[in-house]
Every structure is written in C-alpha cells, then in structure tokens.
Amino acid sequence: MASFSVRFLGCKVSHVDAHAVRESLLADGHEERHSDADVAVVNTCCVTHEAVAKSRKEAARAARTHGRVYVTGCGANLAGDAFAGLPDNVVVVARRSEETPRFVAGDVGAIGCVQAEARLDRVRAFVKVQDGCSFSCRFCVIPLVRGASRSRAAEGQRFFLPQKGEAASLRFPTHDFTFFSSTSSGRTLIRVVKNVRHRFCSS
C-alpha cells in the first residue's frame, strides 16, 4: 500500500479533476496522508504565466519530500517544456482529464483490498458534466490543454447525487449551450438540473 497526497491549483474544474485522481487511488486501497506521503499528485493550472510558474514550483517542492510526483491537469497538457528539468521522480501526465485517474492509479499499482468510497474534502460535491472546447479562439488555451468539447451522457443521472450529508453543486460546463447537444435525447442543461434537483429534494 502506498500513501499519497493530492493538491490542486486553479479553478473548480481543477478541483474536480484532482478529486477524481484521489478517488481512484483510494479505490485501489492506498492511504491518503496530508504529510509524509510516498506519492504526491499536483493538479496544475496554466491560465496565466504566473499559474504555470506556481504549478512548476509546487511540483518541485513536492519532489523534495515525496518518492514520486505526478503532475496532472491543464499545465501538464500545455505544449512546450513548462516542467522540463524537474527531478527524475516527477512524472508529467499529459492526458485527457477522464484518462488521468486510472493512469495514475495504475502506475502507482493496485493492492488486494479496496477501501470505501472517498469522502469529499470540501462542503460541496462538484460534478463535471462537460469538458473541453471545440472553438479556436486565438486568445484561449482551453482547446489545447483540455481537448475538444464533450459531455457526460444524459442517461443515468444518478451519478449527480451526492453522498448522504453532502450538499449538491453541479460543475457547469464551459459552454452550457453545447451540453448534450450531440446526443439524441434532446435534453438541455436546464432540464437535467431540474431532474437532479427533484431527485435530490425527494431523497
């Protein structure tokens, strides 16, 4: 069993991505620690040059106190050598957000036992329903670091419900008018939110 810590820089999307990695590691039986952990996951941000610099600094700091560091998130997907020259125990995971949790957990390695579901480290449960962007605005880096626009399936909306005792808060998409637009269900974001609210309030 490995011990790990997860930290994130940036927006609520970064928080959701970091929590997904945390859940995968816990599901594989690893132990979360806030200090003295074997593995560190740093979910990075690249919205500004300062954000990239802070992400690099955080990864370098983690490399001094952890056996292995996984650099994930937008900064890891940024073109160029933003994290070049860091110690050899730093692994830059340049993958889509939905692929990253299983990659990190698989690289750390699963063990025989499986722990219970991960509890949230914040009051609200953020659920990401859409990611990426298919527009190519010259001033925006989102299509480069998060890929093309894609939505979670509208069917099986039970995944939106938080655990007992937790508040519900949806992570609204980058482009709410494109949410579910490629599905045949014809469901809009407003209809889905109403459905979630009805299920949450009646549970």
Tens of pLDDT, residue by residue over 83-114, are: 999 999 999 999 999 999 999 999 998 664 45
Strand pairing class (68-73; 90-92): parallel
Residues across the chain: 203
3-33: per-residue pLDDT in tens? 999 999 999 889 989 999 999 999 999 999 9
Please give the CATH number for the structural domain made up of 3-108.
3.40.50
* pTM of this structure: 0.73
- At 151 the pLDDT is 74
Both structure tokens of 94:
């340049």
Q: Give the relative orientation of helices 12-27 and 100-108 as an angle to the nearest 10 degrees.
A: 40
Q: Which residues contact 92 (CB under 8 A, 6 or more apart)?
A: 71, 76, 83
Buried b / exposed e across 40-66, counting CB within 10 Å, b at 16+? bbbbbbbbeeebbebbbebbbebbeeb
